[in-house]
Structure 1
């Protein structure tokens, strides 16, 4: 039983001491009193080499000792360089929260423990949540700070190649293939490539766009990020302190270009990944790349990382009668600017972020716009409601907040977002009532879990209001329900009432196809079937096939917001490094090979 004390630092330190002793014990007698009956343990590679969550004390007591026996965690102590132990409210529960560090047989890690009283055991403080996360591998630490490379200035070769010569030669790959091929040069691809670079893994990014950053630069004219700058930093290079709260797309695109140069990332623009097959016998891929000049290059990387976003293929649903329409039809991914449509009429089909933003852009350009709703949609004002889930990032260090974000098990994250959603509904009541009055169909996510879990399960279905919802509620942008459309005719959409919504332009803001369809296109049916669903949770506690080994050896996935990519790129890179160093099996298995 943990001694009672009013000193939260002493309480946290006492728990860690007893936890380390219990892990070294051959049975769970010492471990059992340390966990609250309703407890959660999330391990991110540190003890299990998996990203996994175990719920309830009895399940933790079954699984944790076996992992501890293999990984030999030790030297647990409060991290003096992090936020000190403190009292917090997480998911509506008061707890003592402490950040600690520790070691295993192969690495060093950080973690968070949250202690709450167990009312069934004389209010003894016990672990409610526990995070154990791998930070670095012993002997394979990142090259930065006091370990940064010295470069040519220390020992110059005046007759040999200089830095620029070496960079160009490295990026050309004339005499070698990369260890890792990253497909996609957005935030996901840049983040994982930067992490791998720091671990000494030869990595090449390929992207079909002509210029680094074009995957943001070529989006619609008015786009800015919907979450705030303090959440969105890239690994190793935080944004300058004078940057705006909401980053414009072109500013972010230009930063990506500078990031590639500053981090010395090998990047081939104008290069399409045509597909590949896996050589099980030799443990590498056979892939083909198509260059902008029409040439092809075959490569044999040991790892392929798909960093093409949550969804890469535009969803173009079969809409009966749409081919009858005589005007312009485009998917939202092809929309750029509303100026060409001034004085004309447009139908925007879809009421997620893209649909609303495009409708507002067209309206501001002088077009007559009707927003067509296909399904109920979550609406939340961009401030303050949409930022409530990022409140922790308004104070404290980025490193602490990233660790806190990693520490929340799924069940408690859902509970937290239910509370946030209820708060948002109160803050946004006037807007939501106005939308309901004009017939807009609202929802608040599965079980009231809000926009974050809509994103994590389906990649959309919500809108951060930056003014379009007000225009809809006021009638400045018209609203129609897709279910009320009977068919499309040359001049627009004919409603079941007999009325015709005339249009010169129809924008299909209908989202994207699931990522597994891209896998099927690039690698074939067999590999797609082996990998299975990507993104979302299914029956598990973690995103499916994301940031971790998949059933297909050598195939990895990274996607999500800038924050998700920043956080999880570290863990993905550590796994690839561990495989290359012989510490981790290439195939997914029940345990890792600890040495």
Structure 2
């Protein structure tokens, strides 16, 4: 999957934060790892650890065969392009699909005469070197694509920011956010740092998040001032909790600057805080979020960096809506400050790495650091059940709402 993304894709977290279990990245690696290095490493990792990985596969359905057994139907495409179906049976099923599912593309009235694609289909800006491009979306993927298009010589690039978002510098993330625990000369091994980072309950982390957010604001004051003057609308999270709260409650809504912010500030790329009203042939009609006035943008290409549906959609699609409703939402804390994270307060990330209301159904996701740390505890819970070790569960939360409500 990594090789199928745009060539300029990089991890936005530092290498010391992203080590994988058992095999840390080499010390010679860059701070921000590029796409192909990660793809190479994952292939090597699977071989080195003798992992049973089935590629070229698509899960078609996941159902309970009986009270203790799940049945998973998988469609496999062989090297000779022959498609066959295989049925797996297990006591436990783990959805380790990341925090997202299908690409989310807005429905816009009118007819557009040019090319439209979602960011998941974007393979680089070389083919758009002489085109007028509009990118809808203003988080990590949107910024990455805008920067790549500009570097590849697109005739014009316009970013449409539909809602407020957060931009922070790599410097402030390293200095105030991750640097105290995850850096080249860190006093702790990254696994020890994981324990320190995750030992504090989320309720107690909120004041700390606000403190870190304020420190990052100070470091990034010049960056933020430039973005505001360019027309970008900033959002510092619920109650000013910043980057880490946005990650925990929304699973996104931010950009860690890799150089694109400067393109907006210099005016090399246009930024519009607006919604897309409609298409008219080669024209994208937008409505300014402040003045409510309409503006026409001539375009040959529209790219939707508008994110993905939640992991919950995989549950409803593969297991059925009844199971999805019983499980409820995944991810989020229940802070109740944003539509993506409604209450009630839960205190831990919803349904992640712990028993759910559906016996034998588990969820695993997050960034590489979270996946590294919490995979151990999920594996221990599964191992305990495999050897029939008594494992008391202290209150499985009730689902917050049907998971088809996003």
TM-score by length of 2: 0.88
8 A Cα contact 1:385 1:428, kept in partner? no
Match of 1:491 among 257, 273, 282: 282
8 A Cα contact 1:551 1:588, kept in partner? no
Match of 1:526 among 310, 322, 341: 322
Mean CA deviation greater in 504-513 or 310-319: 310-319
Which residue in the other structure is 2:136 paired with?
349
Which residue in the other structure is 1:318 paired with?
107
8 A Cα contact 2:69 2:90, kept in partner? yes
Match of 1:286 among 34, 50, 71: 71
Separation of aligned partners in 1, 2:253 and 2:318: 27
Separation of aligned partners in 1, 2:222 and 2:237: 19
Q: 1:261-311: CA deviations, max 9, x gaps?
A: 110000111011111211343x01112110102110112111111111111
What's the CA shift for 1:377? Answer: 0.7
What's the CA shift for 1:524? Answer: 0.2
8 A Cα contact 1:460 1:511, kept in partner? no
Mean CA deviation greater in 378-387 or 545-554: 378-387
Which residue in the other structure is 2:309 paired with?
513
Query: Could you say which structure has the greater relative contact order, defined with CA pairs below 8 angstroms and 6 or more residues apart?
Result: 2
Q: Structure 1 residues 386 and 451 mapped into 2: Cα distance closer, same or farther (>3 Å)?
A: farther
Q: Structure 1 residues 495 and 576 mapped into 2: Cα distance closer, same or farther (>3 Å)?
A: closer
8 A Cα contact 1:379 1:442, kept in partner? yes
Separation of aligned partners in 2, 1:260 and 1:495: 47
Q: How do residues 165-564 of structure 1 correspond to structure 2 at under 5 angstroms?
A: 215-281=1-67, 283-292=68-77, 293-321=82-110, 324-367=111-154, 368-385=156-173, 388-391=176-179, 392-394=181-183, 395=186, 396-483=188-275, 485-495=276-286, 497=293, 499-538=295-334, 539-564=345-370
What's the CA shift for 1:570? Answer: 0.3
SS in structure 1 of the partner of residue 309 of structure 2: coil
Q: Structure 1 residues 387 and 252 mapped into 2: Cα distance closer, same or farther (>3 Å)?
A: farther
Separation of aligned partners in 2, 1:337 and 1:226: 18
8 A Cα contact 2:108 2:277, kept in partner? no
SS in structure 1 of the partner of residue 45 of structure 2: helix
SS in structure 2 of the partner of residue 244 of structure 1: coil
Which residue in the other structure is 2:339 paired with?
none
Q: 1:379-409: CA deviations, max 9, x gaps?
A: 1112234552112122121221011012011
Which residue in the other structure is 2:399 paired with?
none
Separation of aligned partners in 1, 2:203 and 2:371: 22
Separation of aligned partners in 2, 1:560 and 1:386: 19
What's the CA shift for 1:435? Answer: 1.2
8 A Cα contact 2:146 2:159, kept in partner? yes
Q: 1:465-512: CA deviations, max 9, x gaps?
A: 1111111111110011323x4421110212455642111111111111
TM-score by length of 1: 0.61
Which residue in the other structure is 2:386 paired with?
580
Mean CA deviation greater in 570-579 or 443-452: 443-452
Q: Structure 1 residues 430 and 589 mapped into 2: Cα distance closer, same or farther (>3 Å)?
A: closer
Larger Rg, first or second structure (1 or 2): 1
8 A Cα contact 2:210 2:241, kept in partner? yes
Q: How do residues 107-186 of structure 1 correspond to structure 2 at under 5 angstroms?
A: none
Q: Which blocks of at least 5 consecutive residues in structure 1 are unaligned? A: 1-214
8 A Cα contact 1:575 1:584, kept in partner? no
8 A Cα contact 1:218 1:336, kept in partner? yes
Q: Which blocks of at least 5 consecutive residues in structure 2 are unaligned? A: 288-292, 335-344, 397-406
Q: Structure 1 residues 446 and 301 mapped into 2: Cα distance closer, same or farther (>3 Å)?
A: same
SS in structure 2 of the partner of residue 513 of structure 1: strand
What's the CA shift for 1:588? Answer: 5.7
Question: Aligned pairs, how many?
Answer: 372
Separation of aligned partners in 1, 2:375 and 2:294: 54
Q: How do residues 94-113 of structure 1 correspond to structure 2 at under 5 angstroms?
A: none
Q: Structure 1 residues 535 and 590 mapped into 2: Cα distance closer, same or farther (>3 Å)?
A: closer
SS in structure 2 of the partner of residue 298 of structure 1: strand
